[in-house]
C-alpha cells in the first residue's frame, strides 16, 4: 500500500464530511467562527488519533482474544468518552476562552458519528495497526481542513450582501455542497 496516497486520499478524496457526510452537526454548528472551528478541529484530531490507536489495541488484544466482539461499540464509546473528557479538562485549563467558545460542541465530540465511524471502518476494512493510525490521523486532519475552510468562507459570507432568503443556513448548505463538488475534483489526482 502506498501510504502517502492513502493519507492524502483520506484528507481530500474520501473526506468524512464532504463525501461520506459524517460529522455534519459540528461542521454546521462550530463553523461560524474561525477560532472555534480551529479549536474543535484540533480537539477532534487529538481524540480520533488517540482513540484509533487505543481502540485497535483493545480490539485486537482483548476483545478478539476473549471472544467479546459483541462489546465493541460499548467499549469504543467508553474510550471515546474518556478521551473527550481528557481534552475537555486540558482545554479548560489551557484556554478557558476557547473552552467557553466551543461550549456544548466540545462535549458533543463524544457523540460525533465520525469519531465512532473511523474505528468501525478501520475494523471493517481490516486495517493493520499502522493503517488504522494513519486512517484516524488523515481522516481527522481532513475534518479539520474542511472545518477551517468552511469557517473562513462563512465569516466572509456574514459580511457579504446575501439575499434574505439565503441568509444563515441556506447559504451555508449551498456553500458546503459547492465545496463537496470542488473536492470531488481531487478524485482523479489521488488513487484511492
What residue has cell string 466551543? Answer: 102
Q: Which of 46, 5, 3, 14 is nearest to 142 (CA)?
A: 14
Q: Which three cell numbers stand for residue 183?
A: 473536492
Q: Mean of the pLDDT values across residues 90-99? A: 86
Q: How far apart are CA 76 and CA 97, in angstroms?
A: 30
pLDDT of residue 143: 92
Domain locations in the chain as residue ranges: 6-15+30-186
Confidence of residue 159 (pLDDT cuts 50, 70, 90): confident
158: which residues sit within 8 A by CB, 6+ positions away?
Answer: 32
pLDDT value at residue 66:
92
User: Does 138 have pLDDT greater than 60?
Assistant: yes
Tens-digit pLDDT profile for residues 28-75: 877 788 888 888 888 889 889 999 999 999 999 999 999 998 998 899
Stretch 78-86: mean pLDDT, rounded?
Answer: 89
Q: Band of the pLDDT at 190, cuts 50, 70, 90?
A: low
Provide DSSP, the chain: --HHHHHHHHHHTS-TTTTS--SHHHHHHSTTSHHHHHHHHHHHHHHHHHHHHHHHHHIIIIITTTT-GGGHHHHHHHHHHHHHHHHHHHHHHH-HHHHHHHTHHHHTTTT-HHHHHHHHHHHHTT--HHHHHHHHHHHHHHHHHHHHHHHHHHHHHHHS---GGGTTHHHHHHHHHHHHHHHHGGGGTS--
Distance between CA 45 and CA 140 in Å, rounded?
5
Amino acid at each position: 500500500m502506498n501510504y502517502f496516497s492513502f493519507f492524502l486520499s483520506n484528507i481530500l478524496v474520501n473526506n468524512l464530511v464532504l463525501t461520506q457526510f459524517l460529522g455534519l452537526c459540528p461542521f454546521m454548528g462550530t463553523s461560524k467562527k474561525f477560532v472555534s472551528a480551529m479549536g474543535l478541529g484540533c480537539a477532534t484530531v487529538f481524540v480520533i488519533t488517540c482513540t484509533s490507536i487505543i481502540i485497535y489495541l483493545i480490539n485486537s488484544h482483548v476483545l478478539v482474544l476473549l471472544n467479546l466482539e459483541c462489546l465493541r461499540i460499548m467499549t469504543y464509546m467508553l474510550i471515546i468518552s474518556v478521551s473527550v473528557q481528557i481534552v475537555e479538562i486540558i482545554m479548560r485549563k489551557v484556554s478557558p476562552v476557547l473552552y467557553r467558545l466551543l461550549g456544548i460542541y466540545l462535549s458533543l465530540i463524544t457523540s460525533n458519528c465520525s469519531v465512532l465511524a473511523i474505528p468501525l471502518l478501520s475494523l471493517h476494512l481490516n486495517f493493520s495497526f499502522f493503517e488504522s493510525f494513519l486512517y484516524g490521523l488523515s481522516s481527522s486532519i481532513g475534518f479539520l481542513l474542511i472545518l477551517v475552510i468552511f469557517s473562513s468562507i462563512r465569516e466572509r459570507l456574514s459580511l457579504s450582501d446575501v439575499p434574505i432568503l439565503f441568509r444563515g443556513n441556506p447559504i451555508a448548505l449551498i456553500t458546503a455542497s459547492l465545496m463537496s463538488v470542488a473536492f470531488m475534483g481531487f478524485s482523479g489526482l489521488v488513487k484511492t
